[in-house]
Structure 1
Amino acid sequence: MRAAGGSTLRLATSLNESGMEAWTPSLVISRRIPRSRVRIDKAVPMLPTFVFARARHLDALLGLAATAKKAQPAFSVFRYQGRVPVISDVGLEPLRTAEAKALPKDQRHAFAAGEAVRLSDGPFAGMSGVVERAQGEFVLVCFPGFRVPVKISSFLLRPDEAEQTQPDKGTAARAA
């Protein structure tokens, strides 16, 4: 969907509140209040004007965009060559990785031993494994078929909801 730049985060929030899964990559910036030493944190969109929603909500979004009075900020459904483009989750993974990199360290997801993860970027992109141990910014991940766990930056990892893989070798396999 497309919206005014200042309405991007409000649109994503209001669509989520109405039961539609919507997302826009955002980051938190720290700004100083003019003529003051006080700093405030403010969420801003990484891609102003663009909001992504699940394809199953397309009919509802087309109807909502056509109505004059709605609870959401004004928006339109993006079209390219007369069609509404459908972007896969894999296509949005670089945006999710950039958003995760921008998060402050204290707000990043903490992985626990035994948790299934999938790599979003780097040489092991797309592979699934199991967390053996978390070490601050890094996580030791056991991949099926690997003899030793691999040390990976935690911002490259995503929880793996699609499949729960269990390694057949290594410490994590013995723990599972």
Structure 2
Amino acid sequence: MSRWIILRTSGSHTRPLSSSLHDAGYEAWSPGRTLRRYMPAKTPTGTRLIETDVAILPTFVFAPAAHLDPLLGLAAQRVGPHPSFSVFHHGGRVPLISDRSIDGLRAEEAEQAALIAAMHMAESRAEADRIRIAAIKSAASRRRAERELERDRRNELRRAPIALSDGAEVEVIDMPALVGVRGVFERADGPYAHVRFGNRSWKIEGWRICPAAINDNSALRSTAA
């Protein structure tokens, strides 16, 4: 499983930073979409179509964790070959993001690309608008179905017993505040788990707890040294 780090930049620099780092071999990625706007113009229709590449998640760029050290060096440069950015830290460490955490962003980017391709093939602006409206309705229906599936999945997970040994190193899923942060499983308490992070113990729903990746010594990369 690949691990990613988060780079932060300004909203207008999001896509340029992603492209610049990718071209330099850092495999950076930020989900994008094409924004279509009709502007007044001296044309037979009185308008001109303008398409702009924009970020789906402004200010966020993802890069493979393997490139952490060189990216920390680039981020520290006052003047560099790329748009300015910083490496995201949490609690003095650099959280690592799993592929699963960005699957939804990849899917949204693919859907947006398919929608734009279909609109490009439309024979008129009206037809393109119909395609766009149909896509919006379809996406809304899909999101409702996904929410129902996710609710059922979580209910099933909540009913499952917690199969962890006391003292096991664990990670927490679906909790942004603890993404990439490892803790120590202390004990089960019905459907809940007590997990220690540093000198503090948290009571967390058991289904959110999973064993930490084996032999992944970089999962909590400290920058204090």
Separation in 2 of the partners of 1:4 and 1:83? 21
Aligned to 2:21: 15
Q: Deviations over 1:96-135 (max 9, x none)?
A: 1111121234749xxxxxxxxxxxxx77xxxxxxxxxxxx
Which structure has the greater CA radius of gyration? 2
Separation in 1 of the partners of 2:64 and 2:30? 12
Aligned to 1:68: 78
Alignment-mate amino acid for residue 18 of structure 1: A
Separation in 1 of the partners of 2:78 and 2:52? 30
The list of structure 1 runs, each at least 4 consecutive aligned residues, that deviate by more than 4 angstroms after superposition, is: 105-108
| Aligned CA distance change for structure 1 residues 10 and 106 (closer, same or farther; 3 Å) | closer
2:95 paired residue among 85, 98, 122 = 85
Aligned to 1:31: 37
SS of 1:42's partner is strand
1:40 paired residue among 32, 40, 50 = 50
Aligned to 2:123: none
Aligned to 2:66: 56
Alignment-mate amino acid for residue 75 of structure 1: F
Matches within 5 A, 1:19-168: 19-34=25-40, 36-105=46-115, 107=117
SS of 1:81's partner is coil
SS of 1:103's partner is helix
Tell me the number of residue pairs that the alignment of Structure 1 and Structure 2 aligns: 111
Aligned to 1:146: none
Separation in 2 of the partners of 1:106 and 1:43? 11
Instruction: Return the TM-score normalized by structure 1.
Output: 0.58
Q: Which runs of 5 or more residues in structure 1 are unaligned?
A: 109-121, 124-176
Q: Which runs of 5 or more residues in structure 2 are unaligned?
A: 1-6, 119-145, 150-225
> Hey, which of these two has a bigger chunk of helix by percent?
2
Identity %: 44
| Aligned CA distance change for structure 1 residues 106 and 25 (closer, same or farther; 3 Å) | closer
| Aligned CA distance change for structure 1 residues 86 and 32 (closer, same or farther; 3 Å) | same
Aligned to 2:214: none
SS of 1:38's partner is strand
CA RMSD in angstroms, aligned pairs only? 2.1
1:22 is displaced (CA, Å) by 0.3
Aligned to 2:177: none
